[in-house]
Chain A
Amino acid sequence: MISRKEIIEKTADTLLRASTVFRPDQIDAYKRAAELEDSKHAKWVLENIIKNAEIAEDKVFPLCDDTGIPHVLVEVGEDAAVPAGFFSAVEEGVAAGLRQLPGRPMAVKGNDYERISQSAGLSEDSGDLAMAPIQIRRIPGKMIRLTLMMYGGGPEIRGKTLRVFHKHSADTVINEMIEWAVEGAKLLGCLPCALSFGIGRSNLEAASLSMEAMAKGNFSVQSDIEKKITEEVNKAGYGALGLGGKTTALATFVKVGPQRASGIRVVSMRLGCCFDPRRAEWEFEA
């Protein structure tokens, strides 16, 4: 039986890892990009990001001062019993993790009008930052897997969810995705980006598929669609920090869901920044 204490502690630890540690495939991708880069300015930025990751992991300090909005994916094994109070314990663990990090204190106070206009100030407590609604999926087995992702604000300015008329050609949709990414990357300061796309039947489904792509994407394992998008975006030549260079996008993660009989596909893009995806996992034996 998983205890409430264990859920809180492991969730907090997972949030700390997501916020301070680059995963091995992410570090390898940066090292490859730095080796291949001809531009001395872009190479300097890529090496600076690697150095930043080393310091962040060593000091358990945020990779980025925009510590992000916590997003949680919970995968529940078909044979697992979810303990009572599991989700409130996850929320408590997220708040504890934000206080330990410390997360940027950016919870906006006030009523609906005040929160929209940010006119009633901010909470000074990092832990007051509410997490996004939990996403749940089922998996085989007995475990409960928690994936915690920190969504920074820059990618939200450049992100997009919209229908695309496919004209019975996958290339039409993929080319539109490339166009969105190139357009967004030009304005995103924190390059190279890591792109996450979901393709579904509704805006909500597409956005949740994009989140899944981000939760599962691996920089070292890329599908043909993912490779094509990355290669095309890199042809734009914006390079690290927009200084010009070979790597505008470090990788692309795509999740294609079920589709409906229709002339449109709904595409959701997160134009992840140079630290995306900031994510970590923990598996509870249930």
Chain B
Amino acid sequence: MQISMPVDDKVINQLKIYDMVEITGKIFTGRDAVLPKIVKCIEDGTCEERGIHLTGGAVFHTAVSPAGIGPTSSNKVDIEGSIPVLSEAGIKMHIGKGSLKKETTEALNKYNSIFLVTPPSTAFLTASIKSKRVVAFPEEGMEALHEIEVENFPAIVAIAHGESIYDK
């Protein structure tokens, strides 16, 4: 299934676990260093003034470095801990790798967001990038909040609507 960013509840409602998708459009990237800072922005209500518009968006758990992009483990404390707050704030898709806790599955379901996994194929994934820019927290360097524009970025739905492939 082809997905164009941003997405709404209608798109999310069509997706179920094991669905293979290709994403085209602008997605955020962030990992351990910056995601807790975004959570703080959400709590402070300062996202919009920083130019961070989360509604209908996706966050790919990766750094953006000269070595390319590739998913980091989403079950690291700082990353998985950001998923409920980001989902409540409007992020619809979290993209990474690795199993997540039951509580996170429940939070995703509550806010109608989903978790997708993608193979850590850096050479392949990096070729899908059409443009990139730093959105916020440039002091974090490659771990800053970036926005990348991707074309036919491959992923598989791992957690959706209370169901997880990791429970199978």
Contact = CB atoms under 8 A, between A and B. Distances in A.
Interface of A: 41, 44-45, 48-49, 51-53, 55-56, 59, 61-67, 101-106, 118, 121-122, 124, 126, 153-154, 157, 186-190, 240-244, 273-275
Interface in B11-50: 18, 20, 33
Contacts of A122: 141-143
Nearest to B69: A65
B5 interface: no
B97 A189 contact: yes
A101 B67 CA distance: 7
B75 interface: yes
Residue with the highest number of chain B CB atoms closer than 10 Å, among A62, A65, A273, A274: A65
A104 B73 contact: no
9 contacts: A48-B119, A49-B121, A61-B122, A63-B123, A189-B74, A189-B75, A190-B120, A242-B158, A244-B168
A189 B155 CA distance: 13
Contact of A243 (B66, B117, B120): B117
B121 A48 contact: yes
B84 interface: no
State which size class the interface on B falls in: 35 or more
A256 B168 CA distance: 36
A27 to B, nearest CB: 14
A157 B62 contact: no
A283 to B, nearest CB: 28
A243 B164 CA distance: 10
Contacts, number: 123
Given A44-B156, A65-B65, 20 more contacts: A41-B20, A41-B156, A55-B124, A61-B123, A62-B68, A62-B123, A63-B123, A65-B62, A104-B67, A121-B141, A122-B141, A154-B72, A189-B71, A189-B73, A189-B97, A189-B98, A190-B97, A190-B120, A244-B165, A274-B120
Contacts of B121: 48-49, 51-52
Interface string B55-77: 00000001101111111111110
B126 interface: yes
Contacts of A104: 63, 65-67, 142
B103 interface: no
Contacts of B67: 62, 65-67, 101-104, 126
A262 to B, nearest CB: 35
Most buried by B among A51, A102, A121, A242: A242
Given A44-B20, A49-B121, A187 B63 contact: no
Contact of B18 (A126, A188, A243): A243
A118 B120 contact: no
Interface string B121-136: 1111011000000000
A243 B99 CA distance: 10
A44 B155 CA distance: 11
A126 B67 CA distance: 9
A134 to B, nearest CB: 23
A70 B57 CA distance: 36
A52 B141 contact: no
B98 A105 contact: no
Given A41-B18, A65-B65, A105 B142 contact: yes
A102 to B, nearest CB: 4
B124 A241 contact: no
